[in-house]
Chain A
Amino acid sequence: QPVLTQPPSVSAAPGQKVTFSCSGSSSNIGSNSVSWYQHLPGTAPKLLISENNQRHSGIPDRFSGSKSGTSATLGITGLQTGDEADYYCGTWDSSLSAVVFGGGTKLTVL
């Protein structure tokens, strides 16, 4: 079972806004920064957000990140069909001495 908890799926219409939640504990999200990744099948995962809310190079400002306590959130505005992908959160777990990921959330743009 993944250490971080993400809902398995989310859907929204083109042009709308969607949020992805990621829940952890004091040993991971609660004490370390969170990253978010976009993964399309057959391709390399792509870093969207690092350090909770810093967009990676080349990532448009439609993507945003935030963290509060032991939870983190990724937001996407102005949804496009090209945004359909799996989205993962990840962080360092100080107790496990391991990088941990959520189980991923599949985004469907209706």
Chain B
Amino acid sequence: EVQLVESGGGLAQPGRSLRLSCAASGFTFDDYALHWVRQAPGKGLEWVSGISWNSAKIDYADSVKGRFTISRDNAKNSLYLQMNSLRAEDTALYYCAKDFSGDVWGVDYWGKGTLVTVSS
């Protein structure tokens, strides 16, 4: 069974940083690309970033480009999202998600999310 468990969310002041983590199990981790997707309160799903199986291809939404950094550690079956220069509009539930393939393409399995609140 595919399991994705996010952690690292919490309350941060505007301009500060947070680092999210995602622990994966139930599939061959280094065969698949991974993503972060978020949902702001009362809003729909918004893709944040994706990373290919070998970290060679990384993409970001324009809304986070230059502020967020995605990375993965295949030895630890873990995905990360370093979030810098946080803004109020980054407040959301952040989901870790698995791709259909090794390339950045689309999502099949999702975690339950970790909540990030940016507020002074």
Contacts and interface: CB of A to CB of B under 8 A. Distances in A.
Nearest to A102: B44
B106 A91 contact: yes
B107 interface: yes
Nearest to B61: A98
Interface residues of A, number: 25
A98 B46 CA distance: 10
Interface in A36-88: 37, 39, 43-47, 50, 56, 86, 88
Tell me whether chain A's interface is mostly helix, strand or loop, or mixed: strand
A44 B113 contact: yes
B47 A101 contact: yes
B46 A101 contact: yes
Contacts of B111: 44
Interface of B: 4, 35, 37, 44-47, 50, 59, 61, 95, 100, 104-113
Interface of A: 2, 33, 35, 37, 39, 43-47, 50, 56, 86, 88, 90-92, 97-104
Given A45-B110, A92-B105, 8 more contacts: A44-B110, A45-B95, A91-B106, A92-B104, A98-B61, A99-B47, A99-B105, A100-B47
15 contacts: A2-B44, A33-B106, A35-B107, A39-B45, A44-B4, A44-B113, A45-B45, A47-B107, A50-B100, A91-B106, A97-B59, A98-B61, A99-B106, A99-B107, A104-B45
